[in-house]
Chains A and B, each alone.
Chain A
Amino acid sequence: MVNSMGLDNRKMVFWAFIGSECLLFGSLISTYLIYKGKSLVGPYPHEILNIPFTSFSTFDLLMSSLAMVLALAAIQRGDMRQGKLWLFVTALLGLIFLGGQVYEFSSFVHEGLGLTTNLFGSTFFVLTGTHGAHVTVGVIWLLTHWVQALRGKLGPAQAITVEITGLYWHFVDVVWIVIFTLVYLIQ
């Protein structure tokens, strides 16, 4: 296969995709920031955001990135037992994050902040919802690899596809760090 720049086509396309996704999340984050403080009615962020809880979610996602790194390293060296374990842990930590999001969203709704309540609700839910959808896709992707590994169809030869999943997963994590900082920490 001709390869003018020495990088696998699939990795290169994925980096291009991540570049594009930066603009996607950038636009959503910008919309959030532009409408910050402009809600006509409450609830307002300081009344409803739970920093301790969300800090735990953030930590969970960070740990999942660590698990992803371990999963990839294991698969690259052919240790499929560790590979399967860490793939599963990554997905599990992702699911825990998602569970936390579901809990957080439903408690907000319960406290009177819905999608259409005010600009904070709209921008918050669309931004974090889009992020959550991305995490969901990532979890499905990870579990697909995990199932393939269980069937013995995943090995060092397919490491590059896991590497790309890792790239996606780390990106989604970084986006969360940005969201956490701009939405939760800096009010």
Chain B
Amino acid sequence: MKSWLTTTDHKRIGMLYFWTALVFFLIGGLEALVIRAQLARPEGIGVSAEIYNQMFTMHGTTMVFLALMPLSAAFFNYIVPLQIGARDVAFPRLNAFSYWVFLLGGLFLNASFVAGPLFGAAHLSVAPDAGWFGYANLTSRQFSPGPNIDFWVLGLLILGIASLAAGFNFIVTILNMRAPGMKLMRLPVFSWMTLVTQFIVITAFPVITVALVLLMFDRFFGTHFFVPAGGGDPILWQHLFWLFGHPEVYILILPAMGIISEVLPTFSRKPLFGYTVVVYSGVLIGFMGWGVWSHHMFAVGLGPIADSVFSATTMLIAVPTGVKIFNWIGTMWGGQLRFTTAMLFAVGFIAMFIIGGLSGVSHASPPADLQQTDTYYVVAHIHYVLFGGTMLGLFAGMYYWWPKMTGRRLSETLGKWHFWLTFVGMNLSFFPMHFSGLLGMPRRIYTYGAELGVTRLNEISTAGAFLLGVAVLVFLVNLWRTRTRGEPAGNDPWQGATLEWATTSPPPVYNFTVLPRVESRLPLWATEHHGAMAPLPATPPAPIHVPGGSWWPLVTALGLPLIAVAALSHQLWLALAGVAVVIAGIYRWAYEPFEA
């Protein structure tokens, strides 16, 4: 137990991220099922408006910040150092710190579900309830008097610190710790997309940090940054939020795109088609993603010129995004396709992401968007790209890399059931939403009029959602059974091309007996230009130093929720104690003898 609390090993931290994110994914999924159960019929199942509003807020917040991002982080942590031929990340303790802060932030946010009595609230739950993008001025103290939004603001501030720390860490790791010969243009696409994602993280998160701090000042100290009565403009919140929020969606999709860029070549037995273009388009998306944010604000009335500009930039970004699809198809063209579960999910990604991309193009047209935004049409779009895209990509990664991470294969039979139930479930759930949106059903409503004529569509969506729940159960059973009954994987169960397959499954704590020397993009494959890399020796020629653990990342991390709780309870001494814990933790961390 102690070794897990003090671990600085990227592989262990990756597993911690995985299991924690999985639990939050299940919580977010339950929130979705409550939503869908309520919406199956106009009269619902008796979920109150207050609870419903908490459900959709927490579903969005949980899935974005506590499930999708950390599941991606699980793979950043476990796989990237292996892919670049390193022994660990640049700053192992900072890595552990990121994980603990994520865990504590997630716990803090979810504690709101049972914190009502502490605030004298009428109900048990005071979970955030103003949507995952928390628009001002609904989130002002006047219109959201309770602690709900405080939990949201403080929780996200904590989580932002986790993401930023990881962002800095992985940028240095990928740029500075590559094995000899691993030039940037030989980097596996997953590691490339991770690098781009981290640059987006470190530039976008400060913006939402400022937005949240300004909102916090409004709510706690009486400023008027977003309060109209004091001259504040709620639209400023939208600008700041979406300046973060749009790059955030690229943070969510690029890693999954990276994953399938690994899975498709492996199971096509062919290199990625157009590696350079795929990499450059990822980088381009990272930059261009900064120029489109107001496409989330077409209904605000910014004016025809602003709308036109953002419409144009949004359509422009569709090009590098869409081109990748052809690259992936080109990878499979002429290949020898093996439909393992990982491959099924990767192909599923392409099939579903194109749908999300196309509805995205219709959103890019402001007049059309005025009928689509804030309706179930955009809910369909979001879920096609984030579930059909990111989640299917992450599942592909799980089936692909589980053998490497645990030494055992997941069951392919259960995997195929998982895939098909997921594929059918998600389409059943989200495709009808295009229609219910176009038929006039807004989003974020706990009930709707029977006269709208969308009842049957909602019933279908609900059935699909529960089918997805069954699919997830199948997956959980697969994970569970594999612990004891999974087939041993060996180093390289899929005949992969990249460095992670050169070492054992799971790798030894030092990753590689000898750091490989890299001569190509596909080190483990023989191609027309070079032979396959020679196998690494079974044991290291000399003892390899492995850094020990450290308590300081966890200790420092603990200071943050202390400060957050102090803010909620208006206790200055507790805040100072939290700050003291952070400062003391950093000091001990800095002066601890630790050789990475």
Contact residues of A with B, CB < 8 Å? 1-5, 7, 9, 12-13, 16-17, 19-21, 23-24, 26-28, 31, 34-35, 38-40, 115-116, 118-119, 122-123, 126, 144
Contact = CB atoms under 8 A, between A and B. Distances in A.
Contact of A20 (B86, B164, B169, B179): B164
B203 A20 contact: yes
B176 interface: yes
A119 B231 contact: yes
A20 B213 contact: no
30 contacts: A1-B596, A2-B86, A4-B178, A4-B182, A9-B90, A12-B175, A13-B91, A13-B169, A16-B171, A16-B202, A20-B205, A21-B206, A23-B204, A23-B206, A23-B207, A27-B207, A27-B211, A27-B240, A31-B225, A31-B240, A38-B231, A39-B231, A115-B221, A116-B221, A116-B222, A116-B230, A118-B224, A119-B230, A119-B232, A122-B224
A9 B232 CA distance: 42
B91 A116 contact: no
B214 A31 contact: yes
A26 B515 CA distance: 41
Given A5-B175, A23-B206, A34-B236, A126 B213 contact: yes
A122 B225 CA distance: 7
Nearest to A12: B172
Which residue, A1, A23, A31, has most C-beta atoms of chain B within 10 A? A23
Contacts of A123: 225
A24 B169 contact: no
A21 B167 CA distance: 13
B462 interface: no
Given A7-B176, A38-B231, A39-B231, A17 B168 contact: yes
Interface of B: 86, 90-91, 164, 167-169, 171-172, 175-180, 182, 202-207, 209-211, 213-214, 217, 221-225, 230-233, 236, 240, 243, 515, 587, 596
A126 B240 contact: no
Contacts of B224: 116, 118-119, 122
A35 B226 CA distance: 11
A9 B203 CA distance: 19
B179 A24 contact: no
B153 to A, nearest CB: 15
A2 B232 CA distance: 51
A3 B177 CA distance: 5
Contacts of A31: 210, 214, 225, 236, 240
A186 B432 CA distance: 55
Contacts of B214: 31, 126
Nearest to A1: B596
B231 A5 contact: no
Given A20-B206, A122-B225, A9 B230 contact: no
Nearest to A127: B210
Nearest to B222: A116
A71 B113 CA distance: 53
Contact of B223 (A1, A26, A38, A116): A116
Contact of A13 (B168, B203, B232, B236): B168
Contacts of B213: 126
B258 to A, nearest CB: 19
B176 A5 contact: yes
A4 to B, nearest CB: 4
Contacts of A27: 206-207, 209-211, 240, 243
Contacts of B233: 34
B230 A20 contact: no
Contact of A2 (B209, B243, B515): B515
Contacts of B177: 2-4, 9
A91 B587 CA distance: 18
Which residue, B179, B217, B515, has most C-beta atoms of chain A within 10 A? B217
A39 B225 CA distance: 11
Contact of B217 (A19, A20, A122): A122
A122 B182 CA distance: 50
Contact of B202 (A4, A20, A38, A40): A20
B231 A24 contact: no
Given A16-B168, A40-B230, A116-B223, 11 more contacts: A4-B177, A5-B176, A9-B177, A13-B172, A16-B202, A20-B205, A27-B209, A116-B221, A119-B230, A122-B223, A123-B225
Contacts of B217: 115, 122, 126
A122 to B, nearest CB: 4
Contacts of B205: 20
A2 B223 contact: no
A14 B286 CA distance: 21
A7 B177 CA distance: 11
A165 to B, nearest CB: 12
A26 B205 CA distance: 12
Given A2-B179, A9-B176, A23 B203 contact: yes
